[in-house]
Amino acid sequence: MENSSDNRKVVLTCAQPTGKLHLGNYLGALKNWVSLIEGNECYFGVVDMHAITIPYVPADLRKNVYDCVAQYIACGMDPQKCNLFLQSSIVGHTELAWVLGCICPLGQLERMTQFKDKSRKHAEAINSGLLYYPVLMASDILIYNADIVPVGEDQKQHIELTRDLAQKFNFTYSDTFKVPEPYIPESGARIMSLQSPESKMSKSDPNQAGTLYITDKPDALRKKIMSAVTDSDSEVRFAPGEKPGVSNLMCIMAAFTGESMEQIQADFAGKGYGYFKKAVADVVVEGLTPVRERYEQVVADKSLIEEALKRGNEAAQRRADKIMSKVYRKVGFLKI
C-alpha cells in the first residue's frame, strides 16, 4: 500500500469553506494541525464540494474559499511546508466516491447522525448529496492513503464508515487502502459559547456575542469576553457542571497560556469575575492579533492564495493519481 516516498507519515484533514473561523476551530483543530506539519507530509483540503449539499450562493462559495485559505495560512499552515488543496480541483475524489458508494449499504448512510440532523434543519432541501456526503468524505481520506486523520469528536461516525469501506474494498479486491485511524488530540480544547456555555462555540449561534472569531478586532474580542455569561458567585473555579461559563473562560485562558486549572484558580483567588475576564481578554487579544494581522495581509493578495493552492493541488493530484490507478485496475476498469 502507498506511503510517502520519504517515510514521513501522511497527515490528511479537510474542512468546508464556510466563512470565518472561530476560537473553537483555532484552539480545537487548527493549532493541532499546525503542530503536525514538522516531520510529516501534510495535506489540508478545502472541501468545497461538500459545501453545496445545502442551499448556498456560488459567489459566496468562491469568496469563502479564498477566505478559508487565507485563514489557514494566517494560523501557521505555511504553503511551503504543507499542501493546501482545493477538493474540486483534484480529479479522483468523486470517481473514488462512486466506487466506494457501490459497496456501501444504503442503511449505513441513512443512520448517519449528521444526515438526520441536516435533514431536520433543511427539510425543504433534502437532496441525495446530503445522504451521500459521508461516502465522499471517505473518498477524501482514502484517496490520499493517510496515516493520520485529525478529526473532531463529531466526525467519529464518519471515520468509522471510512474504515468500514476501506476494509470492505480491501477484502473484495485485495489490499489497497490503509484503514485510517482518527487522531483526536487530548489537548484539543473544547470551547463553548460565551453566551450559552452549555453549547459549543459556533458561527451559527443566533447570539453572535457568544462567538469569538480569529479575525475579530481587539475591541470586539474584549467586548464579547467582558459580557460573557458567568454566574451569581464570584469565585474563579473549574467546575463545568456547576459553573460552565467560568470554566469555559478558564479553558480559553489555559489554551493560550499553558497553565493548569489549579494555577489559574490560585492566580485569581478572591479577585472577582471582572478582573478575571479582563485577564482572559488580554491573553486572547495577544494570541490572536498576529493571526488577524497575517490574515489581513494574505487575504488582500489573491495571487498568493492561488499560488499556494496551485502548489498544493499539484502535490495532491500526484498522490491521488497513484491511488486511483490502483483502484481502477483492481475494480476491472480498462485503461485505453
Collapsed DSSP state (helix, strand, coil) of residue 86: strand
Whether the pLDDT of residue 318 is over 70: the answer is yes
Whether the pLDDT of residue 217 is over 50: the answer is yes
In terms of phi and psi (left: phi > 0; alpha: psi -120 to 50; beta: otherwise), the region of 19 is: left
Which residue, among 85, 87, 7, 9, has the nearest Cα to 41 in the 3D structure? 9
Q: Report the side by side order of strands in the sheet with 40-46.
A: 83-86, 40-46, 9-15, 148-150, 181-183
The average confidence (pLDDT) of the chain is: 91
Which phi and psi (to 5°) does residue 179 adopt? -85, 110
The answer for residues whose C-beta is within 8 angstroms of residue 148's C-beta and 6 or more apart is 9, 10, 11, 12, 36, 40, 181, 183
Which residue, among 43, 54, 127, has the nearest Cα to 93 in the 3D structure? 43
Judge whether 301 and 66 are in contact, CB under 8 Å: no
Geometric angle at alpha carbon 155, from 135 and 172, rounded to 5° = 35
Least confident among 2-6, 35-39, 227-231: 2-6
Can you tell me the distance from the alpha carbon of 308 to that of 140, in angstroms, rounded to the nearest whole number?
Answer: 19
Whether the pLDDT of residue 81 is over 90: the answer is yes
Q: Looking at residues 309-323, what average pLDDT do you find?
A: 98
Q: Which of 20, 203, 310, 322 is catalytic?
A: 203
Whole-structure pTM value: 0.88
pLDDT at 4: 46
Judge whether 238 and 221 are in contact, CB under 8 Å: no
pLDDT band at 2 (very low <50, low <70, confident <90, very high): very low
Domains of the chain: 9-188+302-331 (3.40.50.620), 208-296 (1.10.240.10)
Can you tell me the distance from the alpha carbon of 75 to that of 72, in angstroms, rounded to the nearest whole number?
Answer: 5
Strands 148-150 and 181-183: parallel
- Most confident range, picked from 149-158, 229-238, 299-308: 299-308
pLDDT at 264: 96
Strands 181-183 and 40-46: unpaired
Question: Is 326 annotated as catalytic?
Answer: no
Question: Is 178 annotated as catalytic?
Answer: no
Which residue, among 10, 22, 15, has the nearest Cα to 200 in the 3D structure? 22
Q: Which of 31, 118, 224, 277 is catalytic?
A: 118
pLDDT at 117: 75
- How far from 329 is each of 79, 91, 100, 326, 333, CA to CA, in Å? 33, 17, 15, 5, 6
Alpha-carbon Rg of the chain, whole angstroms?
21
Largest CA distance in the chain: 77
Question: Is 203 annotated as catalytic?
Answer: yes
pLDDT band at 114 (very low <50, low <70, confident <90, very high): confident
Whether the pLDDT of residue 96 is over 70: the answer is yes
DSSP type of residue 159: H
Q: Which of 168, 200, 271, 322 is catalytic?
A: 200
Q: Could you report the per-residue pLDDT of 137-194, keeping only the tens digit for each?
A: 999 999 999 998 988 766 778 889 999 999 999 999 999 999 988 887 665 568 999 9
Q: Could you report the per-residue pLDDT of 10-39, keeping only the tens digit for each?
A: 999 999 998 789 999 899 889 888 989 999
pLDDT at 189: 65
Q: Looking at residues 240-256, what average pLDDT do you find?
A: 94
In terms of phi and psi (left: phi > 0; alpha: psi -120 to 50; beta: otherwise), the region of 298 is: alpha
Between 157 and 67, the more confident residue is: 67
Which residue, among 11, 184, 5, has the nearest Cα to 85 in the 3D structure? 11
Write the single-letter amino acid at 117: D
User: Over pLDDT 90: what percentage of the chain?
Assistant: 73
